[in-house]
Structure 1
Amino acid sequence: MGLGRGRFDALDGEAQGQVALALSGRRSDPEPPVLPWSMGEMVAVEPVFDDGTVLGAIYISASADRVRAEILTHWGLLAAACTATILLLLFAVVRLANWVLRPMLRVDRAMAAVERGERDARISDDTGPPEMRSMIRMFNQMAEEIERVMQRQEAFAMNASHELRNPLGALLMRVEYLATGLDGSWDEDVEKTRAEGRRLTQILDALLGMARSGRQDSAFVAVDLVELSARRIAAWDPISADRGVRVELLGAPEVLSLTDRTSVESAFDAVLDNALKFAPAGSAVEVSVDRDAEGCWIAIRDHGPGLEPDELELVTSRFWRSPRDQNVPGSGLGLAIASDLLGDLRGGVQVQAPEGGGLRVVLRLPGEGR
């Protein structure tokens, strides 16, 4: 619009300045773009020329509300579209992740169940990616094979323990019958034979109970390891004397451990049998019993050929035997059995090569009250 004097006076100072510049022949600067937060009006002031002479100025004023509303509308639509797209993508990602991960979670739960002893744990829902479906089928087949193998092992253990009870009972009856014809000098030997027979009966009972329940149900009591070692050494006296080897018991007067006596005796016998087998005639096998900060221990040390340092880690493996000892009778199971037995009792087996040769096997057990 053109401006008369009255209208010019009605303008504010900034607008009057723009008009004055236009009347001087200067064009106004371009207006900045309208943003949603822009306030006020849009103003443009341009001079009017006639043959280079400024005749006046045109002042144009328009409200930015409509433009601002349109921009806000477009921005709102764009934000809504972006939000909807992100939510749709998140939904797709969650569904895809569930499709992939849920079968893995089922496999993880089934494996944990098998570890707890639930041998019938299976995965019935065969869903997910093709690779996971293949893994689920393989897991179910593996679990079935493990169950079949364990059932066969339990059946064998039950049959063996049951079948051994009859000849053992007959043997003990024969011992009692023979004892009636012996004089008093045989009483000690007869009593040792009875004690060994009772111990074999306990072992068979434990084997039968373990086969029936699928796990070893050990009876933990306070056991004096010194007294236990002395009893087992006495039981091995005939064999050690026949081989010309002395078995010496060293250590504290009493060392108590909260453990299972039958398992410790079996582990002790396995290690002592191994020591007597390799100890040279005329030497001594030293049995020491004591405790330390980690618990209690029984150490059995022989003075035989020993093992190389790289063989110490292999000696507790099943059926492993040193190449130098292939001509010595044995199966390579003694120390492996001892390691398994003590592992179930929260203990372990340590095999050492002491100075002076030979082998030192340490049976570690928890202390009393642990």
Structure 2
Amino acid sequence: MRRRLIIVFLLPLVLVVTVLGGAFAWSAARSVQQEFYAEQLGDLAYFTTSARQSLLSGSSDAFDGEADRYRSLYGTRIVVVDRTGRPWAPDDAERVIESEEVAAQIALALSGRRGELPQDVLPWQFSDLSLVEPVFDGGDVIGAVVMSASVEVPRAEIVRQWLLTAAVVLAVIGAGLFIVFRLAGWVLRPLRRLDGAMEAIERGDMDARIADETGPAELHHMILMFNRMADEIERVVSRQQEFALNASHELRNPLNALLLRVEVLATDIGEVGAADVEKIREEGARMTRILDTLLGFARRGGQHAAVADVDLTTLVRRRAAAWQEVAARRDVRFVTDGDATVRTLTDAAIVESALDAVLDNAVKFSPDGGRIDVSAVRTAEGCRISVRDRGPGLEPGELDQATDRFWRSSRDQNTPGSGLGLAIASDLLRSVGGRVSVEGAEGGGLRVCFDLPDEERR
């Protein structure tokens, strides 16, 4: 955004300053040239009067003296030609009039007509100037004066003014660049602070706010609305954390009481129901871990999970075995495969809870006597847990909505459930850096995949 803002402000400034500088440079060049032409024409008029007197007297001594002094001062040669076109002294007069252009101008002057003044040109096209003025006596042309002037001095003046103009243009552009950078910084500073505050809130820092007086007045309202929104978010999150804390605390007491009764019951039934009691103990311990995770989320704002080294293959087999008894009521069986060991750094309770939500759906929508494949494998991107059922599946257009809260396919409206299973699994996986994907399976059914980063990628 800073680059675009600088371009928007700076490009018109550069164009305007460059155009104005170019116009001024051309005007300065024309002014120097016209001033030079005017000076030469004035001097030529003076020497035309002196030449008329010399031609009438037949002696060039006085004229030659003035011409020599003028040449020594300005480096400009002045030659007089008579009505036949023959040059008078100085001795190098032939060199002055040897060009065809000058000869044509002399012929035009001896016919009684003046040549046209030179046109304004660019400095590198500005060549030595030759002017020819006819000398009249009573309406008759008795000769002409030829002036050959060097343009080094006016050309150097034009270059000097052009360099000065370029320096001024660059200075203005530099000043404009400095001002635009400061202006862009002033305008974007509150936006950067706004971006930083939003990132801080995303990380869980609910106290992040922006000073209302920051930046231009046009952004004050937006900053004020952001602060109000942050206050409301902080209140909502605080209420959610309080609810989670209260719920996890209140659920812990009946869960402990239930587990205590199971232990008492285990002493009465002996070896007969020992296996079932052990399963109840495992589920009770898992529920305790879930409550601990919920309590930790509530205390930390859900920003950091209890990361540990977890074998996903063992976790998958354990959860499939836990759901086997529920699935067996409809003759649905679990088949676990995949890699022998898939280890990663994650929160086991979160992954178990997310997997339970998916397994619940798989059992619910599997046909009687069906099969559910559960696997854990290592991929190029990390680790993947896959659950594939043989149920009715979803239409291609419905797959993207499967993880939305309370969404259910129109074909499953009569099936018990709230449409929260995949949404909860997606939220849980996202909290540990994973994601949930839903896709149709070949041969029918649905495949739900958990993608988790491995320990090297975290």
TM norm structure 1: 0.83
Alignment of 1:345-364 (within 5 A): 345-364=432-451
TM-superposed CA distance for 1:109, in Å, is 2.5
C-alpha distance in structure 1 between counterparts of 2:427 and 2:254, whole Å: 27
SS of aligned partner of 1:204: helix
C-alpha distance in structure 2 between counterparts of 1:336 and 1:211, whole Å: 19
Q: Would you say the 8 A contact 2:206–2:234 is kept in 1?
A: yes
SS of aligned partner of 2:296: helix
> Hey, what does 2:85 align to over in structure 1?
none
Task: Output the aligned Cα RMSD.
Answer: 3.6
Distance 1:286 1:122, change over 3 A: same
Matched, 1:344 2:431: yes
Q: Would you say the 8 A contact 1:299–1:360 is kept in 2?
A: yes
> Hey, what does 2:90 align to over in structure 1?
10
C-alpha distance in structure 2 between counterparts of 1:70 and 1:298, whole Å: 82
2:335 aligns with one of 216, 230, 249? 249
Unaligned runs of 5+ in 2: 1-49, 65-87
SS of aligned partner of 2:273: helix
TM-superposed CA distance for 1:285, in Å, is 2.6
AA of the residue aligned to 1:297: R
C-alpha distance in structure 2 between counterparts of 1:135 and 1:11, whole Å: 88
- Percent identity between the aligned chains? 52
Q: Would you say the 8 A contact 2:331–2:370 is kept in 1?
A: yes
C-alpha distance in structure 1 between counterparts of 2:127 and 2:382, whole Å: 86
SS of aligned partner of 1:10: coil
> Hey, what does 1:303 align to over in structure 2?
390
> Hey, what does 1:132 align to over in structure 2?
219
Q: Would you say the 8 A contact 1:230–1:249 is kept in 2?
A: no
Structure with the bigger percentage of helix:
2
Alignment of 1:1-370 (within 5 A): 1-2=50-51, 3=54, 4-6=59-61, 7=64, 8-10=88-90, 12=92, 13-15=94-96, 21=106, 24-25=110-111, 27=113, 29-30=115-116, 32=118, 44-50=131-137, 53-58=140-145, 93-94=180-181, 96-214=183-301, 215-225=303-313, 227-241=314-328, 243-252=329-338, 254-258=340-344, 259-367=346-454, 369-370=456-457
TM-superposed CA distance for 1:211, in Å, is 1.4
Q: Would you say the 8 A contact 1:271–1:335 is kept in 2?
A: yes
AA of the residue aligned to 2:440: A
Distance 1:14 1:212, change over 3 A: same
C-alpha distance in structure 1 between counterparts of 2:146 and 2:447, whole Å: 109
Distance 1:130 1:182, change over 3 A: same
Distance 1:47 1:152, change over 3 A: same
TM-superposed CA distance for 1:184, in Å, is 0.6
C-alpha distance in structure 1 between counterparts of 2:175 and 2:455, whole Å: 62
* C-alpha distance after superposition, 1:45-90 (max 9, x if no partner): 4333345543344567889899789878987887787677656655
C-alpha distance in structure 1 between counterparts of 2:151 and 2:441, whole Å: 96
AA of the residue aligned to 2:89: D
Mean CA deviation greater in 288-297 or 252-261 = 288-297
AA of the residue aligned to 1:250: T
Q: Would you say the 8 A contact 2:324–2:334 is kept in 1?
A: no
TM-superposed CA distance for 1:270, in Å, is 0.9
C-alpha distance in structure 2 between counterparts of 1:279 and 1:166, whole Å: 35
* C-alpha distance after superposition, 1:110-168 (max 9, x if no partner): 22322333221111042444442221111111111111111111111111111111111
TM-superposed CA distance for 1:173, in Å, is 0.9
SS of aligned partner of 1:330: coil
Distance 1:310 1:63, change over 3 A: closer
Mean CA deviation greater in 326-335 or 61-70 = 61-70
SS of aligned partner of 2:288: helix
C-alpha distance in structure 1 between counterparts of 2:446 and 2:124, whole Å: 88
AA of the residue aligned to 1:248: F
Distance 1:149 1:11, change over 3 A: farther
Distance 1:251 1:207, change over 3 A: same
Distance 1:55 1:327, change over 3 A: closer
Q: Would you say the 8 A contact 2:200–2:208 is kept in 1?
A: yes
C-alpha distance in structure 2 between counterparts of 1:367 and 1:67, whole Å: 78
C-alpha distance in structure 1 between counterparts of 2:390 and 2:166, whole Å: 85
SS of aligned partner of 1:180: helix
TM-superposed CA distance for 1:300, in Å, is 2.3
Distance 1:262 1:60, change over 3 A: closer
SS of aligned partner of 1:245: coil
Q: Would you say the 8 A contact 1:286–1:301 is kept in 2?
A: yes
TM-superposed CA distance for 1:308, in Å, is 2.0
Distance 1:191 1:79, change over 3 A: closer
AA of the residue aligned to 1:9: A
TM-superposed CA distance for 1:43, in Å, is 6.5
SS of aligned partner of 2:373: strand
